[in-house]
Amino acid sequence: AQSVAQPEDQVNVAEGNPLTVKCTYSVSGNPYLFWYVQYPNRGLQFLLKYITGDNLVKGSYGFEAEFNKSQTSFHLKKPSALVSDSALYFCAVRDKANDYKLSFGAGTTVTVRA
Amino acid sequence: GAVVSQHPSWVICKSGTSVKIECRSLDFQATTMFWYRQFPKQSLMLMATSNEGSKATYEQGVEKDKFLINHASLTLSTLTVTSAHPEDSSFYICSARMAGGSRTDTQYFGPGTRLTVL
């Protein structure tokens, strides 16, 4: 069965500092990995995905993520966080053989203080 | 591009009534749509997978007679909560998977519908 884990419920950083949100995954085959962001009372916004190719994936709003197969990780990063990055972040994995269903992590609340 | 809308954005209803939520892909055709439920400060729970022109596939533990899903076209799926009760109060989110093209692997999410059953 496919699954992802987000080990941190909350991440707090100061504006301008680097931001990292951790995610590890477990799949039987090749992983299809995604990051989404959710603002209060809103749906999820797609940030980036890893399907194949370069391990460093660049996405929206200055975010990037690094796929590490040996560590089964897909951490989300931003070099310089903004207050507006404060939101709930979800990592998700899809097993293509599983009818394109996404399995989500529990979510990590990011708070960027001014 | 890849915009998904939901209507209504919020709804309050009395216990025992039925509520219909629409999910539309506005600028693309969606082979598959998904319905999720989210409780406060929790992750998304997949309720069912909806394929155009066929019956929805429900996840284990989800009552298909209570949560009726219809995927009438490649741009519209509806979720009807029948005989709603207060425990059905939740945030319902749909997503759509684009048919064909290089973005087939991405699900695009709607803004969600907040349902409150009194």
Residues in B touching A104 (Cβ below 8 Å) = 43-44
Burial class (CB in 10 A: 0-12, 13-18, 19+), B102: exposed
Q: Which chain B positions have a beta carbon within 8 Å of A107's beta carbon?
A: 41-43
- Average pLDDT for chain B: 90
Q: Considering only CB atoms, which chain A residues are within 8 Å of B32?
A: 99-100
Confidence of residue A97 (pLDDT cuts 50, 70, 90): low
State the distance between the two ends of chain B, measured CA to CA, in whole angstroms. 37
In which band, very low, low, confident or very high, does the pLDDT at A52 lie, cut at 50, 70 and 90? confident
Q: Find the range with the poorest average confidence among A29-43, B73-87, B91-105.
A: B91-105
pLDDT at B77: 94
A interface test, pick of B44, B94, B98, B116 with most A CB neighbours within 10 Å: B44
Instruction: Give me the pLDDT at residue B55, please.
Output: 87
CA distance B6 to chain A (A): 10
Identify which of A87, A105, A94, A84 has the alpha carbon closest to the alpha carbon of residue A28: A94
- Residue A96 pLDDT > 70: no
Give the pLDDT band (50/70/90) at residue A41.
confident
- Bigger pLDDT: A59 or A101? A59
**Average pLDDT in the A31-51 region?**
90
Q: A59 touching B, CB under 8 A?
A: no
Q: Which two tokens stand for residue A45?
A: 């916004």
Nearest to B106 among A42, A49, A99 (CB): A49
Judge: A44–B95 Cβ closer than 8 Å, yes or no: yes
Q: For residue B27, give every residue at least 6 positions away whose Cβ sits within 8 Å of its Cβ, in sequence order, or none.
A: B1, B2, B3
- Please give the residue that has the higher pLDDT: either A2 or A107: A107
Nearest to B71 by CA among B56, B52, B47: B52
CA distance B93 to chain A (A): 7
Kindly report, residue by residue over B20-44, the tens digit of the pLDDT.
999 999 988 888 899 999 988 788 8
Give the nearest chain B residue to A90 (CA atoms): B43
Residue that the structure tokens 């599983």 belong to: A98
In chain B, pLDDT over 70 holds for what percent of residues? 95
> What does the pLDDT read at residue B72?
83
Q: What is the DSSP string of A40-59?
A: TT--EEEEEEE-SS-SEEE-
Least confident of A30-39, A72-81, B101-110: B101-110
Structure confidence at residue B102 (pLDDT): 58
How many angstroms separate the CA of residue A71 from the nearest CA in chain B? Answer: 23
Give the whole-angstrom CA distance, residue B12 versus residue B110: 19
Closest residue in chain A to residue B115, using alpha carbons only = A41
Average pLDDT over residues A42-65: 91
Q: Is A50 exposed, middle or buried (0-12, 13-18, 19+ CB in 10 A)?
A: buried
Give A54 or B20, the one with higher predicted confidence.
B20
Separation of alpha carbons B83 and A31, rounded Å: 39
pLDDT of A51 > 90? The answer is no
CB B109 to CB A99 under 8 A? no
Region at B82 (left for phi over 0; alpha for psi -120 to 50; beta for the rest): beta
Judging contacts by C-beta atoms under 8 Å, the chain B residues touching residue A111 are none
Q: Has residue A98 got a pLDDT over 70?
A: no
For A5-37, how does the pLDDT look when each residue is reduced to its tens digit (9 = 90+)?
999 999 999 999 999 999 999 988 888 899 999
Nearest to A96 by CA among B105, B30, B60, B35: B105
CA–CA distances in Å: residue A76 to residues A22, A47, A58, B92: 6, 10, 10, 26
Strands A10-14 and A108-113: parallel
Query: Shortest CB distance from A102 goes to which of B2, B107, B111?
Result: B107
